Each structure stands twice: as structure tokens, then as C-alpha cells.
Amino acid sequence: MQCVIVEETSSALFFSKPERAPLPTGLARLVVEQAVAVVFQVPLQELRARTRRKAHVAFARQVAMYLTHVVCGITLTEVGMLFGRDRTTVAYACRIVEDRRDDTLFDASLDHLETAIVRLTCAHSVLES
């Protein structure tokens, strides 16, 4: 993953990606899991469980897989390996989350989560250099 710099100029947002080393996939998973666990109020152990668990836990895990794929740019296969799932399960999770983005409140919450994850991973990159 690379840091994304956002510049606001005359009501338009411009995104640029500076040249940085990609974030290790394990660290990306950790950052995403921590953020999702806090927002969805789900213990990390439940989020990492190999079985489906309750619906709200399963949905939180789907969001974590979605964010790991979309925000961190990790392939579906790699995300599946990180979460102990098949790539088709990750693809299904991404479809579920994308469908829920039609809900404006959920979409705004996900936008905030995405921003937080980018900032946390950028902060880690700065601390590492």
C-alpha cells in the first residue's frame, strides 16, 4: 500500500501517490482489523475466528476483507490467505459491502474508515523511515 496525499484546490480534490515501499500485507491486515474491531465493536478474536459466528461479526469480517482489498490494494487471493478464507469468499464479501454502500450512512462510515486506515498506514510508513 502507498500513502495517498490529498490536496484541496478550488473545491476539487486531487490525489497523488508518492513513491513509497508497499505496506506488508500482515501489517495492512492488522491495521484494518483493529479499525474494524473498534468501529463495529467486535472483539479481535471474534473477527479472526475461523467459523462464521454471528451475523454482525461476519459482516464486520466482510468489511475488513473489503477494506484490505480496496484500500490496501491487496489481491483477493492474498486477502483470502490473510483471513483464512477462499478468494471467492473475499469476492462475495466485497460484493456485499459494495451493495450496502447504497445506504448513505453506511457509505459515510466506510469513507471515514478508509481515511483512518490510509492515515494509520501512512503514519506507520513515516515512523519506519
The rounded distance, in Å, linking the Cα atoms of 94 and 83 is 14
Please name the helix (run of DSSP H) or strand (run of DSSP E) that holds residue 82, with its range, or none.
Answer: helix 76-83
Q: What is the pLDDT along the chain (129 residues), one digit of tens a residue?
A: 444 444 444 444 444 444 444 566 778 888 999 999 999 999 999 988 888 889 999 999 999 999 999 998 899 999 999 999 999 999 999 999 999 999 999 999 999 999 999 888 877 666 666
Q: If you ran DSSP here, which 8-state letter would residue 50 be given?
A: S
pTM here?
0.79
At 4 the three-state DSSP class reads coil
